[in-house]
Amino acid sequence: MDEQVDILLVDDSPVKLLAMETALGVLQQRLHKASSGREALRLLLSHDFAVILLDVNMPGLDGFETAELIRARDRSSHTPIIFVSAISQTEAHASRGYQLGAVDYVFAPIVPDVLRAKVAVFVELHRKTVQAQRQAEKIAADARELTATSERLRHAERLASLGTLAAGLGHDMGNLLLPVRFRLESIEAQAVSAEVKEDVGAIRKCTDYLQQLARGLRLLALDTEDEQATDNLTDLRIWWPDLLPVLRGCLPRDVALEERMAASEPVVKVPAHRLSQAVFNLVQNAADALRVLGKGRVQVWAENAGQEIRLGVTDDGPGMSEEVQRRCLEPFFTTKTRAISTGLGLSLVQGVVARAGGRLEFKSREGVGTTFTMVLPRAAGIARKGVARAPAAVWVADPQRAGYISAILSSLKLQPQLGEGAGLPDAPLWIVDGDRAPGPVLKQFCEGSPARRVVVIGELASNPAPDQITATGEHPAPALVRDTLRKASAAAALYSPTALPPRASTNETTAERGKPAAREVTRDGTTDQAAVRGRQPVGRRGDRKAAQARA
């Protein structure tokens, strides 16, 4: 059924109003009646009429004066007017009516069929006009949505480009740091003064920070939809140091970043790359809120909650209004300009949490701050992956080559054990000089497990276990050594490209690493309690002295 329209009948005679109402009733439209020009003008304030039937001769405002006022108003300036008159008018009288916007004249006595036919034309015309206006509004709305979608697509493309750039930077930075770490290992393996050792320690601290930054960039660049990008479990104590430099970089200079990891055995059932991107979004939102104030504090915290772990981000910014709180989790909703935000950040966080079987909570007060909390299922009773690294025996006399090999093994998440006799028989991977590897010893080592692998630096007269032993030849290039070690460790099922290495020193216990602490993290990656911890030193002091003596 077609939508009804409004028709206005204006006449000071109740009899004529009834006659017009009766004649037009069969059209089944909304009929409005007015007994004077003033009453008609009042109705025009609240209705848009398809047509107006207006009596010419009325007391007070006559039909012509009423029509003139109707035409003076923008909203009704184009409303069709049919004059109704009880007597025939002169040609000049009719001309005045047409000048005032009349579209027709109807003379009494009214012929119902003629009146209905005239009015029906304007009813249909009005209906088509309304449909055209709605279609134009829909087209305009679609155009606006298309523009917004195009802008979101351009923004997504920029983010994808930044993700590719971040992944490339993380990868290249890791490659560039490898020779630096190799040279540091070589220097540490030599007899140097205390001052040089102190300088090397300072350089190592910087390279460790850059290595953490590289791993953090890689985590942010990975696709959240990729199920295989990282392990399904994340230990917060291993994950946090890698993300810390990236988070520090997204905060304004005068905004402090604090941590409070109070959860014990904080292993959650969320892949590290998804968790990193979720926390990065929350910290970035806090940074945007605090940027207006110019200073503030952001705290990343974790605490136990039965079979769950609550991981949250709290800021002391301006807080959110009630309207923003109602809509903040809606896709595409944002309080930022579209040029810098797609409005999908919190939707991504909510998706990550929901996929893990958790829930996202938040609370905010204007003038106090905002807290977003991810309630995540705990991976109870599951050993933390990567805490205890598998050993790799390094029996290489040349201290520089031993340092280079140790750096590669550390990057492969293995624990180098330097010195003849070190690491065996427990190490699944053995790197040994060719002149220190008699065939029977190599064979006996390989027979201990089919997963064991040996890399011989040099030549072998005969290979007792070709599937498990690889010889590099004399004077191998660094790239050949690196590739051989990677293949050997992968074959031994020791190397996982998604595992995150620990950040504990050899003297730091698991209990100490799990100890909760709230501390401010400075821009260079150090804290007010201690510098950012580097990875384990390669080898033991006694092993290094033995290597130096052999050299």
CA 416 to chain centre: 38
Cis check for the bond before 109: say yes or no (omega within 30 of 0): yes
Is residue 180 predicted with pLDDT exceeding 80? no
Q: What is the residue-averaged pLDDT of the chain? A: 76
Is residue 352 predicted with pLDDT exceeding 90? no
Give the confidence band of 233 by pLDDT, cuts at 50, 70, 90. confident
pTM: 0.40
**Mean predicted confidence (pLDDT) in 65-88:** 83
Question: Cα(234)–Cα(228) distance, rounded to whole angstroms?
Answer: 14
Check: CB of residue 526 under 8 Å from CB of residue 517.
Answer: no
Is residue 394 predicted with pLDDT exceeding 50? yes
Give the pLDDT confidence score for residue 534 in this predicted structure: 33
| Selected residue with higher pLDDT from 152 and 137 | 137
- The pair of three-digit structure tokens given for residue 59, joined into one six-digit string: 């007391």
Question: Cα(465)–Cα(294) distance, rounded to whole angstroms?
Answer: 66
3-class secondary-structure state, position 375: strand
- The pair of three-digit structure tokens given for residue 358, joined into one six-digit string: 């958790």
Phi-psi bin for 423: left (phi > 0), alpha (psi -120 to 50), beta? left
Which domains, and CATH codes, for the chain? 6-110 (3.40.50.2300), 231-381 (3.30.565.10), 390-498+517-550 (3.40.50.2300)
CA angle, corner 247, sides to 181 and 306, nearest 5?
105
CA angle, corner 254, sides to 250 and 259, nearest 5?
65
Q: What residues have CB less than 8 Å from 438, skipping those under 6 apart? A: none
Number of other residues whose CB lies within 10 A of the CB of residue 286: 29
Is residue 7 predicted with pLDDT exceeding 50? yes
| Selected residue with higher pLDDT from 327 and 59 | 59
Question: Cα(302)–Cα(324) distance, rounded to whole angstroms?
Answer: 26
> 3-state SS string over 42-80?
HHHCCCCEEEEEEECCCCCCCHHHHHHHHHHCHHHCCCC
Q: What is the DSSP letter of 443?
A: H
